[in-house]
Chains A and B, each alone.
Chain A
Amino acid sequence: MSPEPTSFLGETWQLVVAVRRAMGVTLRNLFRRPVTVQYPTVKRVYPDRFRGILALVYEKDTGEEACIGCRLCELICPPQVIKVEMLKAEKRNYAKTFTLELYSCEFCELCVQVCPTDAIIMLKTFDLATSDRREMLLDKDRLHALGLAHEPSWATGNRLRDMQAPPKAARAEGKGEAKAESKAEAKEPAE
């Protein structure tokens, strides 16, 4: 910082210099491109891990619903927006009803984290504005439809847990490389 001027002319000159500097910054910004992204004609590129709205998915190989109705997501949800009823069947269980109150959802991704079958995921879109709140009370069909309609994010339960898993001390030496490889596979492709 410049030393404090004491004379009248000195102070006035300091004022002139400072004014010129500040107005120069503003003038320089006048000629920069604006940073506005004109949504909705132009959409920004969302990163891979974007936490958008939630959806249920089908299993890749069999095409069946991936959700087994285990209710782990219901138990972990902090604002308790998920309600699941299990339907027992012979080979595996299903979810009889699955409701998610999106208007109260915190988008914390804990339900995705705990899901053992990667059934519930988050999508790369957040755009669900409606004029009726009841449309944001998502039931199972709606969740499946959303899952088919939009692009999913990278995060699924198993991928997140693999990323967070500490290597077991016993397997540190021998299988260290294998673990690093599986971790590298679990990471999403380079951007």
Chain B
Amino acid sequence: MADTVAQHVVEIGYGGNERLVMNMGPQHPSAHGVFRAILTLEGETVVAVDAVIGYLHRCHEKLAETLTYVQYPSIASKTDYVSAMTAELTYVSAVEKVGKIDVPRRAQYLRVLAAELQRVASHCLWLGTWCMDMGGALGGGATVFLYAIRERELILDLFEALTGARLLYGFHQVGGVRYDLPAGWTEQCRQTLNLIEQRLREYEAMLEDNPFFLVRTQGVGVISRELALDVGVCGPLIRGSGIDYDVRRAEPYSSYGEFTFKVPVETAGDCHARYRVRMVEFRESIAIARQALDGLPEGPISSRPGVKSVGQVRVPKGEGYARVEGARGELGCYLVADGGAKPYRLKWRGASFCNLAVLPHIIPGHKIADVVAIMGSVDPVFGEVDR
């Protein structure tokens, strides 16, 4: 069905009029995952872009229908695998919303702490890979990449001490969280946050006001306010285009209402604005994490007993949608429950899936080098695009 349409458009060859159809294929050093962009070029300028996704489809939504509510949270982390805590949080929030399950306050604070630390780690990865796309694996980009990964590893060490895993955690369960803080963790966390805040200044010294960087990012990939609202992008993309929208503010979940933080908004709409938004988000996440550590209440970490059997959690009939401000935008999970131990239907709303829809509008007119800059600033993760 889509094939005939695709065959009509995709002729890898010379499209007449000196136009060249070039494939930035799924295997590409800067594809950010597996993403195929079929570019139509006139010289160096991109005239049209045809995006092909689906190379990472792993049938998450069908899988969720076969796994129970206690089994799926560790699978949920594989949708947005770079920012796994927020992905799991989306799923368990949906289950708790439909099943009207309370979450104790300590668990809520721990969830906030984990989500904000994860946001810092995810933005570290974003910065590193974006600069590497723009600067080359054999060049200054790789330097920023390795610095950012060095910092990300510190946060992953924290998560490893907390849960035992570094990338896909299984930290959340329906009703709370699975792991409590081990001894000495708060101290290690505070030191890590201080160190990362210091190192952020180094990254800004390398990039801010750097004419090479500015000339690559200013005026590139401008998403106007109207376009952002029309297409429905989310996350740093919409905040970089002048719209003050953050799910943590709009619909506070998991006790976010008790934290004070700024939501950065920039009006320029170009790659540089999105970069500024994310750099401020770094600092705000560190501030929220510190507030969570300071105000962490005592109490149980789960309102339901720990998992003892596979059919333990049963959710009565109902539907609900829970959304979470992930590192890439609004990650949502629509759950239809039928009273059993497994969902009847689960739908993931991937933040990157909606963000990628803006590419055919903003890429034409730019050069090839801008394509990678724009892709990096959109920051897609194909786990949540293809699910």
Contacts and interface: CB of A to CB of B under 8 A. Distances in A.
Decide if A and B are genuine partners.
yes
A187 B70 contact: no
B304 interface: yes
Interface stretch (A60-68, A87-95, A136-144, A156-164): A156-164
A166 B164 contact: no
Given A14-B209, A78-B75, A153-B164, A113 B307 contact: yes
A91 to B, nearest CB: 23
B147 interface: yes
Contact of B150 (A24, A35, A113, A166): A35
A2 B209 contact: yes
Interface stretch (B113-121, B175-183, B242-250): B175-183
Interface string A1-45: 110000000010011011101101110110000010000000000
Contacts of A48: 161, 182
Contact of A166 (B67, B168, B180, B302): B302
A110 B71 contact: yes
A76 B310 contact: yes
A164 B178 CA distance: 6
Given A15-B211, A47-B160, A78 B67 contact: yes
Contact of A114 (B75, B104, B308): B308
A51 B164 contact: yes
B7 interface: no
- The listed residue with most A CB atoms (<10 A of its CB), out of B140, B176, B182, is B182
Contacts, number: 138
Mostly, the B contact residues are loop
A108 interface: yes
B210 interface: yes
A110 B70 contact: yes
Nearest to B163: A49
- The listed residue with most A CB atoms (<10 A of its CB), out of B168, B184, B300, B303, is B300
B182 A187 contact: yes
Interface in B203-219: 205-212
A28 B143 CA distance: 13
B310 A18 contact: no
Interface residues of A, number: 50
A163 B301 contact: yes
A57 B164 CA distance: 20
B170 interface: yes
A164 B164 contact: no
A1 to B, nearest CB: 6
A118 interface: no
B209 A1 contact: yes
Interface in A70-117: 72, 75-76, 78, 106-110, 113-114, 116
B202 to A, nearest CB: 5
A56 interface: no
B334 interface: no
B211 A190 contact: no
A108 B71 CA distance: 9
A26 B182 contact: no
B210 A18 contact: yes
B145 to A, nearest CB: 13
Nearest to A48: B182
Given A51-B164, A155-B164, A191-B184, A114 B206 contact: no
Contacts of B157: 47
B211 A76 contact: no
Given A1-B209, A47-B160, A114-B308, A164 B71 contact: no
A78 B74 contact: yes
A181 interface: no
A135 interface: no
Given A51-B165, A190-B184, A76 B71 contact: yes
B141 to A, nearest CB: 12
A72 B70 CA distance: 13
A154 to B, nearest CB: 8
B173 interface: yes
Interface string A123-135: 0000000000000
B202 A72 contact: no
Interface in A162-187: 162-167, 187
A188 interface: yes
Contacts of B300: 164-167
B162 interface: yes
Given A50-B164, A164-B301, 12 more contacts: A17-B209, A21-B205, A26-B206, A78-B74, A107-B165, A114-B310, A161-B305, A164-B302, A164-B305, A166-B176, A187-B182, A187-B183
8 contacts: A28-B202, A49-B161, A50-B160, A108-B168, A110-B307, A163-B306, A164-B176, A191-B183
Sort A-B residue pairs by CB-CB distance and give the 3 closest, nearest first. Answer: A164-B306, A51-B164, A108-B74
